[in-house]
Structures are given as C-alpha cells and as structure tokens.
Structure 1
Amino acid sequence: MPHILIVEDETIIRSALRRLLERNQYQISEAGSVQEARENFSVADFDLVISDLRLPGAPGTEMIQLAQGKPVLIMTSYASLRSAVDSMKMGAVDYIAKPFDHDEMLQAVAHILREHQHKARNQTPEKLAENPATAARDDNGEIGIIGSSAGMQALYGKIRKVAPTSSNVLIQGESGTGKELVARALHNLSKRSRAPLISVNCAAIPESLIESELFGHEKGSFTGASAGRAGLVEAADGGTLFLDEIGELPLEAQARLLRVLQDGEIRRVGAVQSQRVDVRLIAATHRDLKNLAKTGQFREDLYYRLHVISLQLPALRERGADVMEIAQAFLARQSAVMERPELRFSALAEQAIRLYSWPGNVRELENAIERSVILCEGTEISADLLGIDIALDDLDEPQDPPAEKSPAAGNSDPAEDLSLEDYFQHFVLEHQEHMTETELARKLGISRKCLWERRQRLGIPRRKTGATSS
C-alpha cells in the first residue's frame, strides 16, 4: 500500500484529502508545515508527498529537497500558473489547482505513483541519486501562460485534463491569442514530453511544397529532389505534431493527413511503401472549420477527426485584468534585454493598455511594448510611445476631486449637504447639457468608464441633446 505524506496547514482541506485517499487504499500521514514534516517524519521514506505551496514558515517547495527524489505533488490555490511552473522547475512532478475535484486528485496521484514505479524499474539507483530532481520532473515538462481571468482558469483546467491523453486537439481562437503556447503546454504535460514537438505553420509553406514538407519525398520524385528526405510528420514520430493555421492546408494534403490519423501511416511523395508513425496531432486555427467543411473548403471527415477535443482561447479584450499582467511581464522581459530595468508605464499608458481593444491580441501587445521600450528616452513609458490606435485625449490625467462650493459663494444647494452618490448625480444632471462625457469625467476626477458605470448603477440617463460626446 503506497504511503503518502500530506503537508497542508488548513485542517479542513488536510482532513478531507486524508479521507479521500484512505478510502482509495492509500496509507496517509500528515503535517501542518514543512518544519512539522521535517521533525516528525523521514520524508524520503514516503512514496509520494502532497504539499500546499503556501505554508507557514517555509514554502511547500522545500519538500522537494527533503523528499530526496521521491515525487512531490504541489497544491496551489493561486490563479496564475507561474507558481506551478516554478515548482516544476525546482523538481515537483506536477501541480494541482485548488479547489480540485476528487477524480482529478485520484487520477493525478495514481499517475504519479505509476510513473515513479516505472522509472525506478528502468533506472539504476546511481542514476536516480545523480539528479533526483530532474528524474522526478522529466515526465511533465513546463507550462507557461500568464493570466488569471476566469476564462483562462477554465482553459488551464482543460489543459490539465486533456494533456495526459492521446486525443487529437483543436485549438481555436483569434490570431495572436497564444495558440502555440497552449499546444506547447499540452505537449509538455503529456507522456510524450521527452519526444519532439514539431510545430508547422501551414499558411507559411507554399502549396506546391506542403506535401513534401509534411510527408517527405523520395529521391527523384519531382524536379529538384536530389535526395530522399523525411517529412515533418515523420520527424514528430513518438511525439506531437502541431499544425497551426490548419484551415490553410490544401485539400490533397488534408487527405494525406486524414490517413495518418486513421491508419497511423504515412507515404512519402514518390514512395510505394507506407510506414508506421505514432503521432499526436494538435491543430490550431482562427477560422471556422465547421463552416469551411460545409462549403467544401475543408474535409468534413478530417474536421471530425480533429474535433475530438476543442479548446477555445479568449481574445485579449475578453480577459480583463490579464492585459496589465501580461504587459508588465513583457515590459520586464524587454527591459532586461535592453538593460533598462528602471522603465515603467505612466498612468496614461496603463489606461491606454487597459482600454484599447487589442485586435491583434497578445502578439500586438508584445510588439507595442517592444517598440515603446526601444523608443523611450526617459524612465517612464508614455501612452503615445505604445503606437496604438486610441484617442489619447480620451485618457484621463489623475486629478483631485472637484472642490466643493462654499455657502458664502451663494450656492443654494451646497455640496457639503450631499452624500458622494448624491453629489455625483447632482453634478452630472446639472452639467451634462453643456459638457462632454470626457469633460464630466475630468471634472469629477474619474475615468469615462467609471462615469458610465456609475450612470448605470444610479440610473442616470445620458442626455439626448446638447454637447457631442467626445
């Protein structure tokens, strides 16, 4: 019976996890902190350690060294996957996000124990001792996607469920949303992570060459084929083939790809014999393949072969506060490249980043920040340096709230007698006939977005006549 150590400072979670695992025939010990685990147990004697990331005194990653090569599963309730990535870099075999469902935890535990036993049978003790941290994490690789919005959290959960399977995956989303990052995460967290991930942009290969590039060719099969050559599908044997912009694949190449998926075979251009390949296919597109299939531009049978699992990436404009988190990460990266660690965004630049719709998504954001870092002459990146199509006049300089009028000034409705909400409503109704939305917001010391939200909450209608809104 496998013996598992749970390290978790929240008693309710620790007890619930203990009951779950004991009901499934695991022997359980528990501790509330790294120090308690160190003092009460020989951690290296356990078959598996399940530890929360954030613990009193020392982080859960300290258990990795104490485990001396035994697998450590990290639990984290934090939204970003970056903490999980760091844990795996340090040697954790996997991570699981709280709250988790029972099946997810049981599958993770069973998989980790099975893989560790398999590894122990196939490696000598000397090799395991040589680099236990590497041995403990090699099956999983890394995943690195920034963002903690609800849509991305749902996506992370699907990635974790789908990655260990051999199912084909179709990733859909607008251009620039990071479809290749998702494909890489699926590969890195799969059992194929030690084998190659071959990425192909179908739109970047000339139609006349795409079959040769994908499936290879024999010597003399066409003009210029002076030697036989393996294709990219063959190169991905045992691993993962990522076909980006698969909607651009010609119909003849689609037929060949369908045979790979149906029969696990490829035949080089000009060859007579087929050969077996073991490839997991991940495809991506910004186009509607279902509609393309209805109009005959994409094979319907291939579409259904690809559409076993579908992952939808949200556009950057739908990800809320993620945009600033990603922008700060890009700024840190570019500042390091340019050796200018003092750079920061101005308040107006941050507003521009948050308000702009980013039609080019993450790729456009990355390019804008790289441009601004290059062009910035001081330490603060201004909004105009971003080079994005947004009206800078609509951005609001931080201002103090408007001064209240004194009764001595002859005001018959003094502001000091009003609550903040009353004052807002009174001010807007009094001035909206002769002030634009931008002017109203500036006078109130708030953004136009905040002005609109308060109008909605208080039921103040926009004026139907008067000054034109800017």
Structure 2
Amino acid sequence: MPRILIVEDEHIIRSAVRKMLTHAGYDVSDAGSVEEAEEHDLSSFDLIISDLRLPGAPGTEMIRRAPTTPVLIMTSYASLRSAVDSMKLGAVEYIAKPFDHNEMLALVAAILERKSTIAAADGSSAVTAKTAHQTADSDPASIMFGQCEPMQRVFTLIRKVAPTGTTVLIQGESGTGKELAARALHLLSPRATAPLISVNCAAIPESLIESELFGHEKGAFTGAVNARTGLIEAANGGSLFLDEIGELPAEAQSRLLRVLQEGEIRKVGSTQSIKVNVRMLAATHRNLKAMTRSGEFREDLFYRLNVMQVRIPPLRDRQGDILILARRFLKRQGAKMGKPDLQFSADAVRTIERHRWPGNVRELENAIERATILCDSELITPALLDLNGDGEYIPETLVAGNNEQADAQGLGSQGDLSLEDYFQHFVLENQDRMSETELAQKLGISRKSLWERRQRLGIPRKKTSGS
C-alpha cells in the first residue's frame, strides 16, 4: 500500500485530503509544517503532498529535505509563479486550488505510477520515452470514463494521437472533461515523465497573461523586481495545456504563434529568444473558427492549433453513460458521507435520463453530491436532485450555526468534511462579515475562482456593502 504524507497547516483541508486518500486505499500521514513533517521518516513515503505556503519553511523545502521522494505542491492561481519556481526546484507536479476530488486522485495515481516505473528500471532515473509510454497504462479509459460509442471514438483517437508530438485542440462544452482528455494525451505520450503544465487562460488577468506564459526580465514593467520563468519554459520537455484558449488577448496570440512556428519564446522585456521543446494542447468551449471570421482570434494561430481535433461529446449525447456515471457518483458520495446504501428511486432514474444536463458531467456530479447531503433515507428522489430549480436553494443542514442539525444528517464534525463541504461551510459561515476579496484570500483562491465555485455549487452571493 503506497504511503503518502500530507503537509498542510489548515486542519480542515488537511483532514479532508487525508480522508479522501484513505478512502482511495492509501496509507496516509499528515503534518502541519515542514518542521513537523521531519518528525516522520521522510524516505519511507512514496509521495509527499505539500501546501506551498506554510508557517515557517515553505512547502518547497520538502523537495530538499526529501530528495528521494516525489513532492506534489498545492497552490492557488494567485501563487502560480511560485508553482513554476517549485517545478524548477524539483517538484514533480503542482495542483491549483480549488481542485476536484477526481483531479487530485488522478494526479496522485499518475505520480505513483511514474515512480514505480523508475523503480522497475533498476533504480535508474534514465527511463526511456518508450518505457514511460508503455507503462503509463495505454488505455485512456483509465483516466476518463465512457462506454458509449461517442466516447469510445474519443478514446480511439487519443490512443492514436498521444504517442505523436502533434498539437491537439480539444473542443467541448463546459463540464465535459476537456482537462482529463489533455491529461490522458500527456500521460500516454513519450513525455509522460516530464511536466504537464495546465493554465486556465480565463483565470489570469489580461495584464499578466504574457508575463505568466512567457516570463519576464527584471525591470520589464512596474513591479517586475525579479526575473521570472514563464509557464511555457517551465513545461519544456513536457506538455502545456492551455484551457479556454479563446480568451487569449491579441498580443498573447501573436506570441504563442511564434512558439508554435519557431519553437522559441522571448521573455517580456528581453531581446533574446529561448528555444523550447513543448507539446501544445489547447481547449475551448467556443467556436474558434467563427471567432477567426469576427477577428477575435488569429486565423493563422487557429490552423496551427487545429492540426488534430478531439471533440468531447456533451453528456446529453452519451445516453448509455448517464445512468452509469450517476450511480458511480452516488456510490462515491455515499461512501464519503457515511451513507453507503443510497439508491435512486424509479422517478429519480427517469429524471436523470430525461434531463438535458447543460452543465454536463460536472452538473451531474454536483446534483448527486447535493442530493446525498440532503437525503434522510436510503432513497434519492427527484426533489433532492433539484434539477429544475433555480440553483439558489441552500439546504438547512448547511446554513451557518446549524452544526447540531448537520451532525444529525450524518455530516459529522468539520474534521470529516470533504473539500467541497469545507468550501460550502466556510462561505456560508463567513459571507455576512467578509467581502468577496476577503473570502477568496482566506480560501487561497482568486475572486474569479470563488465566483465560479459559487455558481457550480449553487451558493448565492449575499449582497453586502463590503463586496
């Protein structure tokens, strides 16, 4: 059983991650700081997951103190530059907060798989690209789920494209799993042992996007007190996944075109070009072809990106998968909430099959998590799924101050909450006295990420003078 050490100073987050990994079958220990982590035998762990910002020494210090153990850094978009620096110091991966349950588990499994690959090669760190590709589990179905014919076609295409260095454009509606497709393309490629850097172009302010992607020299602009490595350079030898690439401003589009054409970047404020070897993966829910006609997106960049296209079908076109996915989510959420015997009523099954699912797989997972929390019996009904509601219903068990009621519903103490539960509790308990900026800072995420998660979980924003 693989051993994992979590280093996180926030008790509730630490407890939630520990519980999630324990349920997945890992032997998990935790610590609140680097100093506390050193009370353990660090060499005995197969993986260390550390927050970037900790009291005392930063999380990147774990890389130096545990040189033989892979380190996964948890960070927020506000600290994305530090995440790049941590990759340069030797972190095997980073994951941006807030992260999803599936995202964390998939990343942990991939890191441990890579570690076992290296160990199998007589302890040598010089694993060939062929070996890495062969041992990365050659089926994308191990990363994504889909038994229906449209998803099987996606898997077939990924199997063919992944071993090549071809640029791939992943298209699909929001919530269909475009990032999972990008991760499958990377992990099934010869670059699997190198970094996969994921960037949400819509989450980075337009004024910072060029600096984040290409890096900058000291003094390149006001506030540039030090030179910085860009995300493209950090992905050198690996893959760069640009999510929501349709949101890139015109100047950044022009610079990105040069990367694809010449294989080189130029930092902001520099006159020197740097050669890079990066496989580009891009995703969007928008119609880039139509955007080229309106002048919003460069036509030459579109054709450079659109060498190979992977289209992820919306959930409404995956009729054979909907109910299977729903039952998988129900089983997982039931286990997390201590309600393992939950089932869908006949009416709930019909409701799930008939719903259009505009939010796709993400909407389905959220609806089932909400229903699991609210359910008082072993039967999930259509009313609990609330698929025809306005998304603003807040269950009584989650309203701040009703902790006794929450315990009665099986939510337990805060130490047993999942990351999603923690987010909901924290926002509901503090939004009356904190502004949106303060809430985001306390959660370690951007205001945009806070807004997106409110929308996804159906938590209405309270109108306060501080927001």
The bucket for the TM-score relative to the shorter chain is 0.5 to 0.7
Partner SS, residue 328 of structure 1: helix
Partner SS, residue 229 of structure 2: coil
Do the aligned partners of 1:140 and 1:190 also contact (CA within 8 Å) in 2? no
Counterparts of 2:278 and 2:124, CA distance in 1: 33
Give 1:140 shift.
5.5
Do the aligned partners of 2:132 and 2:193 also contact (CA within 8 Å) in 1? no
Counterparts of 1:126 and 1:207, CA distance in 2: 43
Do the aligned partners of 1:176 and 1:361 also contact (CA within 8 Å) in 2? yes
**Are 2:277 and 1:272 aligned?**
no
Structure 1 residues 300-323: Cα deviation after superposition (integer angstroms, max 9, x where no partner):
110000010011111100111201
**Are 2:131 and 1:137 aligned?**
no
CA 1:327–1:125: 2 relative to 1, 3 Å: closer
Partner of 2:207: 208
Question: After the TM superposition, which segments of 4 or more aligned residues of structure 1 sit over 3 Å from their partners?
Answer: 122-128, 133-136, 138-143
Counterparts of 1:376 and 1:139, CA distance in 2: 38
Do the aligned partners of 1:163 and 1:186 also contact (CA within 8 Å) in 2? yes
Partner SS, residue 309 of structure 2: strand
Partner of 1:293: 292
Structure 1 residues 90-117: Cα deviation after superposition (integer angstroms, max 9, x where no partner):
x999xxxxxxxxxxxxxxxxxxxxxx9x
The structure that has the greater radius of gyration is 1
Counterparts of 2:147 and 2:139, CA distance in 1: 21
Alignment of 1:80-159 (within 5 A): 123-124=121-122, 137-138=135-136, 143-159=142-158
Structure 1 residues 178-217: Cα deviation after superposition (integer angstroms, max 9, x where no partner):
1111111111100001111111111111111111111111
CA 1:179–1:207: 2 relative to 1, 3 Å: same
Letter in 2 for 1:246: I
TM-score (norm: length of structure 1): 0.54
Identity %, equivalent residues: 57
Q: 5+ residue gaps in structure 1?
A: 1-84, 94-115, 392-470
Partner of 2:217: 218
Counterparts of 1:323 and 1:294, CA distance in 2: 36
Partner SS, residue 223 of structure 1: coil
Counterparts of 2:310 and 2:217, CA distance in 1: 37
CA 1:141–1:188: 2 relative to 1, 3 Å: farther
Counterparts of 1:218 and 1:141, CA distance in 2: 42
Counterparts of 1:203 and 1:361, CA distance in 2: 20
Q: RCO greater where, 1 or 2, for CA within 8 Å and sep 6 or more? A: 2
Partner of 1:367: 366
Q: 5+ residue gaps in structure 2?
A: 1-105, 391-467
Alignment of 1:249-398 (within 5 A): 249-389=248-388
Structure 1 residues 349-404: Cα deviation after superposition (integer angstroms, max 9, x where no partner):
1111110000111111111111111111111111111111189xxxxxxxxxxxxx
Structure 1 residues 212-261: Cα deviation after superposition (integer angstroms, max 9, x where no partner):
11111112211111211111111111111111111111110011111111
State the superposition RMSD in angstroms.
3.1
TM-score (norm: length of structure 2): 0.55
Letter in 2 for 1:146: F
Partner of 1:170: 169
Do the aligned partners of 1:316 and 1:323 also contact (CA within 8 Å) in 2? yes
Partner SS, residue 214 of structure 1: helix
Count of equivalent residues: 275
Q: Which moved more, 1:162-171 or 1:210-219?
A: 210-219
Q: Which moved more, 1:223-232 or 1:151-160?
A: 223-232
Give 1:336 shift.
2.1
Counterparts of 1:288 and 1:373, CA distance in 2: 36
Counterparts of 2:250 and 2:377, CA distance in 1: 53
Give 1:328 shift.
1.3
Do the aligned partners of 2:136 and 2:187 also contact (CA within 8 Å) in 1? no
Letter in 1 for 2:283: A
Counterparts of 1:235 and 1:356, CA distance in 2: 42
Do the aligned partners of 2:215 and 2:230 also contact (CA within 8 Å) in 1? yes
Counterparts of 1:134 and 1:288, CA distance in 2: 35
Counterparts of 1:258 and 1:350, CA distance in 2: 48
CA 1:134–1:380: 2 relative to 1, 3 Å: farther
Counterparts of 1:226 and 1:219, CA distance in 2: 5
Give 1:339 shift.
2.4
Do the aligned partners of 1:147 and 1:325 also contact (CA within 8 Å) in 2? no
Counterparts of 2:300 and 2:132, CA distance in 1: 42
Give 1:139 shift.
8.0
Partner SS, residue 321 of structure 1: helix
Give 1:271 shift.
1.6
Partner SS, residue 283 of structure 2: strand
Give 1:141 shift.
9.0
Do the aligned partners of 1:247 and 1:298 also contact (CA within 8 Å) in 2? yes
Give 1:172 shift.
0.8
Do the aligned partners of 2:138 and 2:159 also contact (CA within 8 Å) in 1? no
CA 1:378–1:213: 2 relative to 1, 3 Å: same
